[in-house]
């Protein structure tokens, strides 16, 4: 009987498919940030910018038809990480246990709110769900922002002595399964990441609101976007400069400085053109530049570092085992999934564009029918 | 309690809870699509009213299904990271495909359906509910293929200390997946049919009392009978597919069958026990093999056989490529370092199996009774008995589905991947019992609060009855006019 068999590291064959999938995961995250980023922003602002019940309903109806589809980008990104990089998904999701729980709570309370707030005319009922939508939509990008900042710094991992293929997020071997890696996440740079991502969601979302609404709510959103733009530009600049000064990527550090420039130009362009369609394109480009810069920094260690050396190299100077190649699925799986992704992503994009076209018209309080509950009678 | 036990409870609670919303989402979306098609084809406003009435109930339920489903996808990595790492090469693929192919379709088009009444021409709007509904069906194919792989890991081999995919088609065309999918889908239609029946039947006696001979009476009467027929036809499907599923199960997971039947010793002409000790001879043999005289293997004999095979370094089932390659690599029961307790919890399996059947039977009996009570021009008088029946009908197949999953998942123990990877070895090594326990408590609290909200909303909208003063939806061109529907 052989219970105590030795585990060996899977042979890390540098696979071009692993690189392609790393890029695809980045693309899915960008899709998520660009699309759901604005509905987080809009939902966060419901209790603040919506001064009357009808105005709050205008805000909800600008994102109502699309928020659920937007959220699927996150689920697809998670599913793609699971299928293409099982070890990445496993180490990351178990390592950031409590933060991800907060994300789930945020997603639960906001998702239910959109559907349930209109189902009862009571002001208290609606107020409760407005706040749940707002808090949930704040919590999720906040945690992801803190998370991404920590991927830039590098989450420390150790291996299981019995199972060197298994990496666990912990500061040392002794802490595995004893002290969760949690408070360390909230370093100044970690918090800055959280604030920057929330700020960009608010800026992106208010720009969307300006484009999608009419009347007083439109004017109020415009005023807010003007202020929020300045905060976002300042916060984003500090974050991106710190990132590239202190945690320059192993590869392509020149490109990363160009991405910082792209993000800066895009944000300033957006701020100067609030109310024009190009402003939304500009904040989307900013998301793209910021996310790509972070993903480039996450090569090859996937946002992890060796707990001892705090770099992607172990004590003997070799590339450590938690990297994009060792964590990847087999080429067979990666290839099949790639074919499916190459067919499906354009189809999804096509019908998503059709949906945004269908709901292209800006709405104002005059478009809001009296009440759905009265309607149901 | 250890993190492992807490993680198992967390999986059980969140999954059973999630699956309270899934059957209604899958089947009611299709029934609503059918109703809307009947309206578009016939122009009969009855079907528009029913589409709106059931559409609301569908959406109240759908919201909970969506948000509780996200927890499921994250949970594998959070609580079962060693499982995720070792089987992600196979198990991750159907999850990613589900998101890309099905979940986008469902979420995007149902969003358009809800808000698109006055934005799209009738037929295009009708297409959106069909696309959304088809999305939920495709979704279930991938998710059940993923679950079936845990029951019967096909299309994979053991290499590099993990399971690696050798054949995607074998994963998707797993015999367990095919039988489970049909059984689950028929079960979903039982639940949705029963919900249509219950909501309409309750309103039928009420509107008949308040406004006899009104359109409402005629429409609810139609819907009551429609729901009853869906329930009864789906029940036939559930029985037939359940019988086939039992045989696949006996072949591939004999221990699960033995535990669900509390069968200690291998027996010819095995009895089906209604309660422990009270058995009907040969019925189990028929259920398991189609042959009343056949031998059914018992738990003690299976356990002895498995222990011997493990000691000899042999796979438990030499027809399974993953089990064979795992044994050939000398990996035994992968990661299992302690002695193996081969027998899953017997009484939970045994009783879950019986409750599943009992609740299904009660549900369909109410369906048949309702058909009789509304035959010809008859309309039931109502009263407490009728109200109780209308409330119970949808709950019966719904909870039967929960019990069915308990049999499936409890009976898989001690494995997370049958015959290969133990549940014990699959748990996240770095996650503390405190983390799992705290989140377990919080999930349960949040879910309980939302359960109360959801049930109240369901009842409220059932009681509101049929929508009146319906405008025929048409494409709105005036940019300042109120939308025909908004949140």
Top-ranked range on mean pLDDT: pick from A163-172, B123-132, B423-432: B123-132
Indicate whether B90 pLDDT > 90.
Answer: yes
Rounded mean pLDDT, B13-40 = 96
Rounded mean pLDDT, B379-397 = 92
d(C-alpha B465, C-alpha B206), whole Å: 10
Beta carbons of A367 and B486 less than 8 Å apart: yes
B331 touches chain A (CB under 8 A): yes
Answer yes or no: are the C-beta atoms of B73 and B107 closer than 8 Å. no
d(C-alpha B398, C-alpha B403), whole Å: 9
Answer yes or no: are the C-beta atoms of A69 and B114 closer than 8 Å. no
d(C-alpha B253, C-alpha B317), whole Å: 9
Beta carbons of B331 and A2 less than 8 Å apart: yes
Residue A366: its H or E element:
none
Distance of CA A375 to the CA centre of its chain: 37
Q: What is the pLDDT of residue B336?
A: 58
Instruction: State in Å, rounded, how far the first CA of chain A is from the last one.
Output: 71
How many Cβ atoms are within 10 Å of B206's Cβ, its own excluded?
17
- DSSP lists the bridge partners of residue B334 as B421
A102 touches chain B (CB under 8 A): no
Q: What percent of chain B has pLDDT over 70?
A: 98
Hey, CA dihedral for B142, B78, A324, A76, is it positive or negative? positive
Beta carbons of B100 and A91 less than 8 Å apart: no
Q: What is the pLDDT of residues A253-305, one digit of tens each?
A: 889 999 999 999 999 999 999 999 999 999 999 999 999 999 999 988 999 99
Q: What percent of chain B has pLDDT over 90?
A: 73
Mean model confidence pLDDT for chain B: 91
Buried b (16+ CB within 10 A) or exposed e, B1-30: eebbebbbebbeebbbbbbbbbbbbbbbbb
Q: Which residue has the tokens 């996310």?
A: A291
Mean model confidence pLDDT for chain A: 90
Across the beta sheet with A304-306, the strand order is A163-169, A155-160, A304-306
Hey, CA dihedral for B24, B30, B34, B39, is it positive or negative? positive
Q: Write the CA distances from B252 to B149, B297, B328, integer angstroms.
A: 12, 12, 20
User: Nearest CA to A34 among A64, A62, A82, A74?
Assistant: A74
Q: How many CA atoms does the CB half-sphere of B458 hold within 13 Å? A: 23
State both tokens at A153. 């710094």
Rounded mean pLDDT, B107-112 = 95
User: Nearest CA to A18 among A88, A76, A79, A100?
Assistant: A88
Q: What is the pLDDT of residue B308?
A: 86
Angle at B482 between CA B478 and CA B483, to 5 degrees: 90
Beta carbons of B77 and A64 less than 8 Å apart: no
Indicate whether B330 pLDDT > 80.
Answer: no
Beta carbons of B460 and A119 less than 8 Å apart: yes
B167 touches chain A (CB under 8 A): no
Shortest Cα distance, chain B CAs vs residue A342, angstroms: 10
Beta carbons of B428 and A351 less than 8 Å apart: no
d(C-alpha A27, C-alpha B313), whole Å: 45
* Residue A43, Ramachandran bin (φ over 0: left; ψ between -120 and 50: alpha; else beta): alpha
Report strand pairing: A304-306 vs A155-160.
parallel
Q: What is the pLDDT of residue A250?
A: 84
A122 band by pLDDT with thresholds 50, 70 and 90: confident
Q: What is the pLDDT of residues A326-342, one digit of tens each?
A: 899 999 899 999 999 99
Q: Model's pTM, two decimal places?
A: 0.93
The secondary structure of chain B, three-state, reads: CCHHHHHHHHHHHHHHHHHHHHHHHHHHHHHHHHHHHHHHHHCCHHHHHHHHHHHHHHHHHHHHHHHHHHHHHHHHHHHCHHHHHHHHHHHHHHHHHHHHHHHHHHHHHHHHHHHCCCCCCHHHHHHHHHHHHHHHHHHHHHHHHHHHHHHCCCCEEEECCEEEECCHHHHHCCHHHHHHHHHHHHHHHHHHHHHHHHHHHHHHHHHHHHCCCCHHHHHHHHHHHHHHHHHHHHHHHHHHHHHHHHHHHHHHCHHHHHHHCCCCCCEECCCEEEECCEEECCHHHHHHHCCCCCEECCHHHHHHHHHHHHHCCCCCCCCCHHHHHHHHCCCCCECCCCCCCCCCCHHHHHHHHHHHHHHHHHHHHHHHHHHHHCCCCCCCCCCHHHHHHHHHHHHHHHHHHHHHHHHHHHCCCCEEECCCEEHHHHCCCCCCHHHHHHHHHHHHHHHHHHHHHHHHHHHHHHHHCCCCCCCCCCCCCCCCCCCCCCC
Beta carbons of A168 and B337 less than 8 Å apart: no
d(C-alpha B96, C-alpha B100), whole Å: 6
d(C-alpha A42, C-alpha B341), whole Å: 53
Question: DSSP string of B210-239?
Answer: HSTTSHHHHHHHHHHHHHHHHHHHHHHHHH
Q: How many CA atoms does the CB half-sphere of B8 hold within 13 Å? A: 17
DSSP three-state, residue B40: helix
Please name the residues in contact with B79: beta carbons below 8 A apart, sequence gap of 6 or more: A94, B7, B10, B11, B427, B428, B431, B436
DSSP three-state, residue B7: helix
User: CA of B76: which chain A residue's CA is closest?
Assistant: A90
Which residue of A28, A93, A101, A358 to mutate against B (max B Cβ within 10 Å)?
A93
Beta carbons of A368 and B483 less than 8 Å apart: yes
Q: What is the pLDDT of residues A45-59, one digit of tens each?
A: 999 999 999 999 999
Residues of chain B contacting residue A8, judged by C-beta atoms under 8 Å apart? 160-161
B448 touches chain A (CB under 8 A): no
Among B110-119, B302-311, B336-345, which stretch is predicted with the lowest mean pLDDT?
B336-345
Indicate whether A3 pLDDT > 50.
Answer: no
How long is chain A? 377
Residue A155: its H or E element:
strand A155-160
Q: What DSSP designation does A301 have?
A: T
Closest Cβ opposite residue A66 in set B111, B435, B486: B111
d(C-alpha B131, C-alpha A54), whole Å: 31
Q: What percent of chain A has pLDDT over 90?
A: 75
Would you tell me the crossing angle of helices A188-212 and A253-272 to the nearest 10 degrees?
40
Rounded mean pLDDT, A11-19 = 71
User: CA of A101: which chain B residue's CA is closest?
Assistant: B439
d(C-alpha A178, C-alpha A365), whole Å: 54
Residues of chain B contacting residue A108, judged by C-beta atoms under 8 Å apart? 67-68, 70-71, 446, 450
Q: What is the pLDDT of residue A375?
A: 41
DSSP three-state, residue A150: helix
How many Cβ atoms are within 10 Å of A354's Cβ, its own excluded?
11
Strands (E), B301-449: 415-417, 421-422
DSSP H stretches of helix in B80-174: 81-97, 104-115, 122-151, 168-172
Q: What is the pLDDT of residue B332?
A: 62
Beta carbons of B481 and A366 less than 8 Å apart: yes
State both tokens at A279. 């402003």
Q: What is the pLDDT of residue B328?
A: 86
Answer yes or no: are the C-beta atoms of A195 and A237 closer than 8 Å. no
How many Cβ atoms are within 10 Å of B151's Cβ, its own excluded?
23
d(C-alpha B140, C-alpha B186), whole Å: 12
Please name the residues in contact with B35: beta carbons below 8 A apart, sequence gap of 6 or more: B47, B50, B51, B54
* Residue B161, Ramachandran bin (φ over 0: left; ψ between -120 and 50: alpha; else beta): left
Q: What is the pLDDT of residue A65?
A: 93
Q: What is the pLDDT of residue B260?
A: 92
Q: What is the pLDDT of residue B80?
A: 95
User: CA of B156: which chain A residue's CA is closest?
Assistant: A333
State both tokens at B382. 């109502």
Hey, CA dihedral for B395, B19, B232, B376, is it positive or negative? positive
How long is chain B? 487
Beta carbons of B486 and A368 less than 8 Å apart: yes
Q: What is the pLDDT of residue B56?
A: 93
Beta carbons of B77 and A348 less than 8 Å apart: no
How many Cβ atoms are within 10 Å of B94's Cβ, its own excluded?
25
Residues of chain A contacting residue B93, judged by C-beta atoms under 8 Å apart? 83, 333, 336-337
Residues of chain A contacting residue B78, judged by C-beta atoms under 8 Å apart? 93-94, 97, 100-101
Closest Cβ opposite residue A69 in set B87, B104, B165: B104
B450 band by pLDDT with thresholds 50, 70 and 90: very high
d(C-alpha B61, C-alpha B52), whole Å: 14
Q: What is the pLDDT of residues A63-106, one digit of tens each?
A: 999 999 999 999 999 999 999 999 999 999 999 999 999 999 99
Q: What is the pLDDT of residues B28-53, one digit of tens each?
A: 999 999 999 999 999 999 999 999 99
User: Nearest CA to A26 among A363, A228, A297?
Assistant: A297
Q: What is the pLDDT of residues B141-198, one digit of tens each?
A: 999 999 999 999 999 999 888 899 998 889 988 999 999 999 999 999 999 999 999 9
Residue A318: its H or E element:
none
ipTM of the complex: 0.92
Residues of chain A contacting residue B479, judged by C-beta atoms under 8 Å apart? 361, 367
User: CA of A169: which chain B residue's CA is closest?
Assistant: B430
State both tokens at B297. 């293997």
A14 band by pLDDT with thresholds 50, 70 and 90: low
Q: What is the pLDDT of residues B240-282, one digit of tens each?
A: 999 999 999 999 999 999 999 999 999 888 889 888 888 888 8
Answer yes or no: are the C-beta atoms of A106 and A137 closer than 8 Å. yes
- A 180-239 → B contacts, CB under 8 A: 180
């Amino acid at each position: 009987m052989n219970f105590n068999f030795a585990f060996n590291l899977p042979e890390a064959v540098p696979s071009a498919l692993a690189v392609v999938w790393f890029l695809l995961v980045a693309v899915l995250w960008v899709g998520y940030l660009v699309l759901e980023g604005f509905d987080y922003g809009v939902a966060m602002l419901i209790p603040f910018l919506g001064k009357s019940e009808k105005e709050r309903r205008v805000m909800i109806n600008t994102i109502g038809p699309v928020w659920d589809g937007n959220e699927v980008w996150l689920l697809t990104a998670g599913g793609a990480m699971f299928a293409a990089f099982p070890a990445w998904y496993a180490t990351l999701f178990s390592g950031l246990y409590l933060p991800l729980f907060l994300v789930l709570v945020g997603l639960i309370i906001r998702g239910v709110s959109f559907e349930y707030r209109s189902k009862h005319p009571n002001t208290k009922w609606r107020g409760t769900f407005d706040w749940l939508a707002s808090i949930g939509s704040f919590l999720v990008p906040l945690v992801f922002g803190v998370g991404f900042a920590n991927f830039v710094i590098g989450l420390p991992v150790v291996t299981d002595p019995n199972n060197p293929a298994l990496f666990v997020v912990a500061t040392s071997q002794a802490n595995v399964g004893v002290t969760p890696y949690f408070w360390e996440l909230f370093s100044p740079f970690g918090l800055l990441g959280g604030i920057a991502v929330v700020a960009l969601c608010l800026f992106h979302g208010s720009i969307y609101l300006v484009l999608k609404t009419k009347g007083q709510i439109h004017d109020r959103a415009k005023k807010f976007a003007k202020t929020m733009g300045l905060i976002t530009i300042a916060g984003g600049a500090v974050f991106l400069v710190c990132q590239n000064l202190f945690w320059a990527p192993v590869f392509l550090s020149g490109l990363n400085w160009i991405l910082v420039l792209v993000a800066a130009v895009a944000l300033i362009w957006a701020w100067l053109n609030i109310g024009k369609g190009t402003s939304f394109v500009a904040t989307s480009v900013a998301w793209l530049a910021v996310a790509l810069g972070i993903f480039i920094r996450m090569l090859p260690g996937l946002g992890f570092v060796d707990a001892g050396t705090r770099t992607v190299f172990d004590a003997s100077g070799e590339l450590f085992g938690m990297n994009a190649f060792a964590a990847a699925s087999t080429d067979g799986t990666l290839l099949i999934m790639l074919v499916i992704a190459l067919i499906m992503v354009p189809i999804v994009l096509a019908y998503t564009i059709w949906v945004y076209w269908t709901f292209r018209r800006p709405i104002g309080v005059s478009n809001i029918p009296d009440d759905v509950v009265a309607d149901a009678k | 309690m250890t993190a492992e036990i807490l993680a198992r409870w967390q999986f059980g609670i969140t999954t059973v809870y999630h699956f309270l919303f899934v059957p209604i989402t899958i089947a009611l979306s299709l029934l609503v699509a059918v109703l809307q098609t009947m309206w578009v084809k016939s122009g009969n406003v009855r079907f528009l009213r029913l589409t709106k009435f059931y559409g609301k109930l569908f959406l109240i339920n759908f919201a909970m299904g969506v948000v509780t489903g996200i927890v499921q996808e994250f949970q594998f990595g959070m609580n079962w990271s060693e499982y995720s790492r070792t089987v992600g090469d196979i198990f991750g693929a159907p999850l990613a495909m589900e998101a890309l192919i099905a979940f986008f379709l469902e979420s995007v088009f149902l969003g358009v359906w809800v808000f698109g009444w006055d934005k799209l021409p009738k037929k295009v709007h009708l297409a959106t509910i069909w696309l959304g509904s088809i999305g939920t069906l495709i979704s279930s194919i991938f998710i059940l293929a993923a679950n079936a792989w845990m029951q019967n890991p096909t299309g994979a081999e053991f290499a590099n200390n993990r399971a690696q995919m050798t054949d995607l088609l074998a994963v998707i065309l797993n015999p367990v997946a095919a039988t489970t999918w049909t059984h689950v889908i028929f079960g979903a239609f039982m639940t949705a049919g029963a919900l249509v029946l219950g909501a309409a039947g309750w309103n039928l006696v009420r509107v008949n009392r308040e406004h006899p001979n009104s359109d409402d009476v005629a429409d609810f009467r139609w819907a009551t009978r429609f729901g009853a027929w869906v329930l009864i036809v789906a029940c036939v499907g559930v029985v037939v597919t359940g019988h086939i599923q039992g045989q696949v199960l006996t072949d591939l997971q004999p221990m699960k069958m033995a535990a669900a039947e509390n069968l200690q010793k291998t027996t010819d002409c095995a009895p089906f026990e209604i309660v422990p000790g009270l058995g009907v001879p040969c019925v189990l043999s028929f259920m398991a093999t189609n042959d009343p005289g056949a031998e059914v293997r018992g738990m003690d004999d299976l356990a002895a056989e498995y222990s011997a095979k493990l000691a000899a370094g042999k796979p438990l089932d030499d027809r399974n490529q993953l089990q064979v390659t795992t044994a050939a690599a000398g990996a035994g029961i992968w990661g299992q370092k302690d002695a193996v307790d081969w027998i899953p919890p017997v009484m939970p399996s045994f009783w879950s199996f019986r409750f599943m059947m009992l609740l299904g039977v009660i549900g369909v009996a109410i369906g048949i009774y309702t058909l009789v009570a509304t035959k010809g021009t008859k309309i039931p008088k109502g009263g407490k008995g009728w109200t109780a029946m209308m409330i119970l009908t949808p709950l019966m197949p719904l909870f039967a589905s929960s019990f069915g999953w308990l049999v499936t998942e409890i009976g898989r123990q001690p494995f997370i991947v049958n015959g290969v990877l133990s549940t014990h070895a699959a748990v996240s090594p770095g996650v503390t019992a405190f983390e799992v326990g705290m989140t377990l408590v919080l999930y349960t609290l949040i879910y309980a609060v939302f359960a109360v909200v959801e049930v109240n909303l369901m009842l409220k909208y059932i009681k509101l009855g049929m929508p009146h003063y319906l405008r025929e939806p048409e494409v709105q061109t005036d940019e300042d006019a109120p939308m025909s529907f908004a949140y």
